[in-house]
Amino acid sequence: MNERKRSNRKRWIWLGVGLVVVVVIGVLAVPMLFGPQLAARMQNEAVSTGETVTAFIGDLTANATASGQIEARRDARLTLSTSGEVVEIYTAVGDSVAAGDPLLKVDTAVLERAVESAQQALRIQEANLAALLAPPTASNLASAEAGVASAQAQLDDLRAGPTENDIAASEANVRAAQANVWAANEQLQLSQSGASEAEIASAQAELIGALGNQESTQDLYDKLTECFDINTPDGQNFNICPGLGNPEEQTRFSLATANANVAAAQAKLDALLAGPDSNSVQIAQASLAAASAQLEAAQANHNLLLQGASAAQIAAAEAALAQAQANLDALVNGASEAQVAMAEIAVEQSRIALQRAERNLAEATLVAPFAGVVTAVNVNVGETANGILVEMVDNSSLEVALSVDEVDIGDIAQGQPADITLETWPDTVLKGQVVSIAPRANQSNSTVVNFDVFLSLGETDLPVRVGMTANADLQTNNYENVLLVPNAAINVDRSRGIYSVNRVTTDDAGNQTVEVVEVTIGLRDGQFTQITNGLQEGDVLLVGNVAPVFEFGSGPPPGAERGNGPFGGG
């Protein structure tokens, strides 16, 4: 019995040893037989502290997700440079328009008048410039030369003093003015003293003569207008007025003149008989005052003439001569460079003003700057064009505007691919890529710092519209054939910024040791970390603890406790 028991125990021991050897050989052979992809799949399982893992070669991709909206890379809020009443609107919200299509038009009456005024101003300035550049005509030269001669003669006269004829003429003016004063004084005395008997008798005789002429002219007119009847032998009766015609007209005019003369003679006699009136006296006094003023002026001019020309008069005459000579020289020599330059500047300014007026007229019609869709019309016919009138977007330039957290923005780069889904069609994935990243954080009242990231939107038959909500999965990095280890195998010393692993080595006798190896890491995702320095493919690493050592997937040996160990967990 005891012998059999010992034999059975030996058999089970050998079976156990063989099973352990097979398990060890299988664990060691799997990575070599099936490659790093199988090892990576095995290591995707949960890694516990105290287990071992193997560094392997594989691919690593990092993604970042963000949400945003569909926007148009090119949109327009259109205004007019000039104001006016809107007379035509050619489009409505939702219309598709081509580049250059008219959108609306304002009244152009004022703008057309401005163009006409600018054209006239330009023609005037061009004529001025042409006149400066044109050679002088014979008549212009003769006129300028006559001006010089006249100014010279006037200066010579002033310098030579008055001639005998000038003095005689001046004295005659003084005497004439004195005579006017005497006559005005006599008229004033007559108006104040009333008419004399001789004047009254003369007026009465004038009235009697006028009455006699009136009476004889009236008799003649009556005889000329008298008609009589004639009976002929055949029994007919005719009424004849021989004075009618030209004789009657002439006599009627003479009679009217005689009547007017009688009225005038009667009025004159009545005025003489009535004596002096205040109006006549005032008129006579005014006439005397005017005559006295004329006498004083004539005497003053005569005195100045006798004194000769003053220095101021000679200076003024010299200046007039110099100006006349300058005008003649300008005609002979032509315009100066400065004058031509100023005229050319005036022409150019007028041309610019005309171009501005023509541009304002052309811009009275608002046109589409590019092909797109009208999203707003902010004015009606009859209203004044002011502010933003029409808004439009270019649907061919749609893009996704994302708001990316500052934690992820460092991994975003221009050109990275992205998978885009829209809330309207969540099951359809659209392709895109990062086209630009905002250089500064967007303005937000939130404490979270976000950056705007813009993605291109690939071709699609879906009716995508501006403002739709979009979600994007951005592939931030994609490394192929790099050295990877599970994240749990990485120990971090945050105070020194050092990353390390616990590498397990086995000597020829099967003894295992654990050493802390400082490593340099690269890209990470939710499972694996890239090792860029410090390890090589096939290195076995202990997760968390330094001892005891057991193989990944086998679990801790009986009695062993899981923990972070002296080097901390991953």
449 lies in the same domain as 378: no
Q: Is residue 352 part of a domain?
A: no
d(CA 95, CA 495): 63
Q: Is residue 195 part of a domain?
A: yes
179 lies in the same domain as 255: yes
Q: Is residue 85 part of a domain?
A: yes
> What is residue 440's predicted lDDT score, i.e. its pLDDT?
86
Q: Is residue 504 part of a domain?
A: no
Q: Is residue 167 part of a domain?
A: no
The pTM of this model reads 0.39
> What is residue 238's predicted lDDT score, i.e. its pLDDT?
65
Token pair of 475 as six digits: 């592939």
Token pair of 339 as six digits: 């004058």
Q: Is residue 56 part of a domain?
A: no
Number of domains in the chain: 4
188 lies in the same domain as 283: yes
> What is residue 362's predicted lDDT score, i.e. its pLDDT?
86
84 lies in the same domain as 9: no
183 lies in the same domain as 244: yes
Q: Is residue 192 part of a domain?
A: yes
d(CA 371, CA 237): 105
Which of 234, 265, 292 is the last residue before a domain boundary?
A: 292
21 lies in the same domain as 88: no
29 lies in the same domain as 4: yes
Q: Which residue type sits at 310?
A: S
221 lies in the same domain as 235: yes
Contacts of 467 (CB under 8 A, 6+ apart): 69, 70, 71
475 lies in the same domain as 445: yes
**CATH label of the domain that carries residue 384:** 2.40.50.100
- Can you give the residue range of the structural domain that contains 247? 175-292
224 lies in the same domain as 286: yes
d(CA 557, CA 99): 78
Q: Is residue 452 part of a domain?
A: yes
E strands, 487-539, in order:
491-493, 498-506, 512-524, 528-533
**CATH label of the domain that carries residue 403:** 2.40.30.170
> What is residue 30's predicted lDDT score, i.e. its pLDDT?
43
Contacts of 174 (CB under 8 A, 6+ apart): 295, 298, 299, 302
Mean pLDDT per 10-residue section of the chain, whose length is 570 residues? 47 53 47 43 50 91 79 86 87 90 90 93 92 84 90 85 83 88 80 74 89 89 74 67 66 84 84 73 86 90 81 88 87 82 93 92 89 90 90 84 80 83 88 86 73 83 84 80 92 88 90 92 83 93 64 40 33
> What is residue 240's predicted lDDT score, i.e. its pLDDT?
64
Q: What's the CA dihedral at 520, 521, 522, 525 to 10 degrees?
A: 180
235 lies in the same domain as 280: yes
Contacts of 345 (CB under 8 A, 6+ apart): none
Query: Cα–Cα–Cα angle for 371, 377, 383, nearest 5°?
Result: 130
Which of 390, 408, 438 is the last residue before a domain boundary?
A: 390
> What is residue 138's predicted lDDT score, i.e. its pLDDT?
86
395 lies in the same domain as 377: no
Query: Cα–Cα–Cα angle for 233, 237, 243, nearest 5°?
Result: 115
Q: Which residue type sits at 17?
A: V
DSSP category for residue 137:
P
